[in-house]
């Protein structure tokens, strides 16, 4: 008989969708989903292995789950996801408490894995990630009103520092019909904001038609009744073309927000990274976006301490950030990944230098972010209510300018009770580096 299952999901939204897919498969087969590990008969840890810190977090989560299994109700422990795909057999042989290992190419086997574990059969499921099927049924776990939608899997960009192609396989787009069907289902179940994710969203459709089709997908998604907000993450700058930019004008569902990882600004380092953009091209795209899409919010991510990065290379990056003043910015310290070309490069940067450069960029970005947020004081924004804040006094939500989970939040007061998933108009009264404070102003008309 099926029992109770608790799933711990780590890493990015794409991994979260895999977690939701596994939960959907298990729920359909009679398993009961619980949020507390001590209540579970089976614990699944869906791991991340993108960088060294992510692997450490994943290992710690597995060890914690082992403790729950030893002293709680759980009799089954399964390890899934990216770490499982990379080190599956090692995990099974070295960790006696682990009963099943399910790689990224074998999400559809989670039910079989748990059933075999019940019978005492320890198995490792590591299918070719290139063949991983897209599965529509999933148990959405994000706050009411918001959900992620995966439009492609894998990556073919061959960045020299990245292990994603080994973990997720080659880039392959999902079918238009499958995406639209899932989007309609999400909207029918109360989702107001759909965030599109893939390893490279801008490449959607190019593997089948030879030309990126993200703009066309956005157009079709915008035509679905009930859709309020569409948001796109993981856009490679060289594929942010005029067709995509036009969607910000023609599609009133597409919020003026773009996540566009640039990774660096030094021509030398970008070339060593295997990136297809150069600093001039990146600057041109930023300037075009800001000129043609007023009020657009641009998020990016950077890597500091890449092999061969000199003080001059870092100064170029620092000056680029200072000049272009990104609304949102994340920084990674370069992580040496086995099997990647970058791991074999000369000029590996000392960890102390990486930390110093990381802190320097973050200090600069905090000041930029604070100045940008202060400029929002006195303005009002359409805000998606995500629930009551932890203090129990304020509500918590996001405007078009904040992507779920990775950006800051809006904390606001309201004279009337609010429901999670509804939209309200919030006037900003105060600002910090990442979060803002405001109050609901029902009398003000909605604006994006």
- 137: in domain: no
Looking at the fold, whether 365 and 385 belong to one and the same domain comes out as: no
Q: What is the CATH number of the domain that holds 256?
A: 3.80.30.20
Lowest mean pLDDT across 39-53, 252-266, 301-315 = 39-53
**Number of structural domains the chain divides into:** 3
Confidence of residue 271 (pLDDT cuts 50, 70, 90): very high
* pLDDT (tens digit per residue) in 341-374: 999 999 999 999 999 999 999 999 999 999 999 9
Q: What is the CATH number of the domain that holds 27?
A: 3.40.50.12160
Whether residue 438 contacts residue 374, with contact meaning beta carbons closer than 8 Å, is answered with no
Give residue 46's region: left, alpha or beta (phi > 0; psi -120 to 50).
Answer: beta
User: Is the confidence at residue 253, as pLDDT, over 90?
Assistant: yes
Looking at the fold, whether 172 and 296 belong to one and the same domain comes out as: yes
Looking at the fold, whether 219 and 364 belong to one and the same domain comes out as: yes
Average pLDDT value for the chain: 92
Q: Average the pLDDT over 155-167 and give the result.
A: 90
- 409: in domain: yes
Residue 167, both tokens = 């973990």
User: Is the confidence at residue 56, as pLDDT, over 90?
Assistant: no
Looking at the fold, whether 282 and 392 belong to one and the same domain comes out as: no
Looking at the fold, whether 362 and 401 belong to one and the same domain comes out as: no
Whether residue 77 contacts residue 66, with contact meaning beta carbons closer than 8 Å, is answered with yes
User: Is the confidence at residue 446, as pLDDT, over 70?
Assistant: no
CA distances from 82 to 19, 43, 54, 106, 261 (A): 12, 17, 10, 11, 21
Looking at the fold, whether 152 and 219 belong to one and the same domain comes out as: yes
Q: Which residue has the higher pLDDT, 42 or 135?
A: 42
Q: Which pLDDT belongs to residue 444?
A: 55
- 445: in domain: no
Confidence of residue 94 (pLDDT cuts 50, 70, 90): confident
Q: Average the pLDDT over 414-439 and give the result.
A: 94
Looking at the fold, whether 28 and 47 belong to one and the same domain comes out as: yes
* pLDDT (tens digit per residue) in 433-445: 999 999 998 755 5
Q: Average the pLDDT over 23-41 and give the result.
A: 91
Looking at the fold, whether 188 and 335 belong to one and the same domain comes out as: yes
User: Is the confidence at residue 448, as pLDDT, over 60?
Assistant: no
- 447: in domain: no
Lowest mean pLDDT across 169-173, 285-289, 346-350 = 169-173
Residue 353, both tokens = 């230098």
Q: Which pLDDT belongs to residue 445?
A: 53
> What CA–CA distance (Å, rounded) separates 297 from 29?
42
User: Is the confidence at residue 210, as pLDDT, over 90?
Assistant: no
Looking at the fold, whether 13 and 121 belong to one and the same domain comes out as: yes
Contacts of 140 (CB under 8 A, 6+ apart): 20, 147, 186, 189, 191
Q: Which pLDDT belongs to residue 306?
A: 97
Tell me which residue range forms the domain holding 53: 4-129
- 141: in domain: no
Determine whether 309 is exposed, middle or buried from the number of CB atoms within 10 Å of its CB (0-12, 13-18, 19+). buried
User: Is the confidence at residue 130, as pLDDT, over 80?
Assistant: no
Lowest mean pLDDT across 153-157, 238-242, 390-394, 423-427 = 390-394
Q: Which pLDDT belongs to residue 75?
A: 87
- 446: in domain: no
**Residue 173 backbone dihedrals phi, psi, to 5 degrees:** -80, 150
- 352: in domain: yes
Q: Average the pLDDT over 94-103 and give the result.
A: 89
- 54: in domain: yes
Share of the chain above pLDDT 90, in %: 70
Looking at the fold, whether 88 and 180 belong to one and the same domain comes out as: no
> What CA–CA distance (Å, rounded) separates 80 from 142?
20
Looking at the fold, whether 365 and 390 belong to one and the same domain comes out as: no
Q: What is the CATH number of the domain that holds 386?
A: 2.40.50.140
Share of the chain above pLDDT 70, in %: 98
Looking at the fold, whether 119 and 64 belong to one and the same domain comes out as: yes
> What CA–CA distance (Å, rounded) separates 102 from 89?
10
């Amino acid at each position: 008989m099926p029992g109770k299952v608790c799933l711990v999901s780590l890493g990015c939204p794409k991994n979260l969708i895999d977690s939701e897919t596994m939960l959907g498969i298990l729920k359909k087969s009679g398993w009961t989903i619980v949020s507390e590990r001590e209540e579970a008969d089976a614990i699944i840890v869906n791991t991340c292995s993108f960088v060294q810190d992510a692997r450490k977090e994943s290992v710690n989560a597995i060890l914690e789950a082992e403790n729950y299994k030893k002293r709680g109700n759980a009799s089954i422990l399964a390890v899934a996801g990216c770490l499982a795909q990379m080190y599956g057999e090692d995990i099974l042989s070295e960790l006696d408490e682990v009963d099943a290992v399910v790689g990224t190419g074998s999400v559809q086997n989670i039910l079989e894995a748990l059933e075999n574990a019940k019978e005492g059969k320890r198995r490792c499921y590591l299918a070719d990630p290139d063949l991983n099927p897209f599965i529509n049924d999933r148990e959405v776990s994000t706050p009411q009103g918001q959900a992620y939608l995966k439009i492609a899997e894998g990556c073919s960009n061959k960045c020299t520092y990245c292990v994603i192609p080994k973990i997720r396989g080659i880039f392959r787009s999902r079918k238009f019909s499958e995406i639209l069907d899932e989007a309609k289902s999400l909207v029918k179940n109360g989702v107001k904001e759909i965030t599109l994710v893939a390893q490279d969203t801008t490449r959607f459709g190019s593997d089948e038609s030879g030309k990126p089709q993200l703009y066309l997908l956005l157009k079709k998604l915008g035509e679905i009744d009930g859709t309020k907000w569409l948001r796109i993450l993981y856009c490679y700058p060289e594929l942010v073309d005029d067709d995509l930019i036009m969607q910000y004008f023609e599609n009133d569902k597409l919020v003026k927000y773009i996540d566009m990882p640039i990774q660096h600004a030094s021509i030398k380092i970008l070339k060593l990274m295997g990136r297809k953009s150069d600093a001039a091209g990146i600057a041109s795209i930023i300037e075009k976006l800001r000129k043609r899409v007023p009020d657009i919010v641009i998020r990016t991510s950077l890597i500091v301490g890449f092999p061969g990065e000199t003080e001059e290379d870092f100064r170029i990056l620092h000056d680029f950030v200072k000049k272009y003043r990104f609304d949102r910015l994340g920084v990674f310290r370069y992580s040496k990944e086995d099997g990647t070309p970058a791991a074999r490069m000369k000029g590996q940067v000392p960890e102390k230098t990486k930390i110093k450069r990381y802190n320097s960029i973050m200090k600069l970005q905090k000041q930029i972010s604070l100045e940008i947020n202060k400029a929002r004081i006195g303005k009002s924004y359409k805000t998606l209510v995500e629930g009551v804040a932890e203090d129990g006094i304020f509500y918590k939500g996001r405007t078009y300018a904040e992507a779920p989970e990775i950006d800051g939040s809006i904390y606001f007061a309201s004279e009337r009770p609010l429901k999670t998933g509804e939209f309200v108009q919030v006037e900003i009264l105060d600002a910090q580096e990442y979060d803002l404070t405001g109050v609901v102003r029902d009398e003000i008309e909605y604006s994006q």
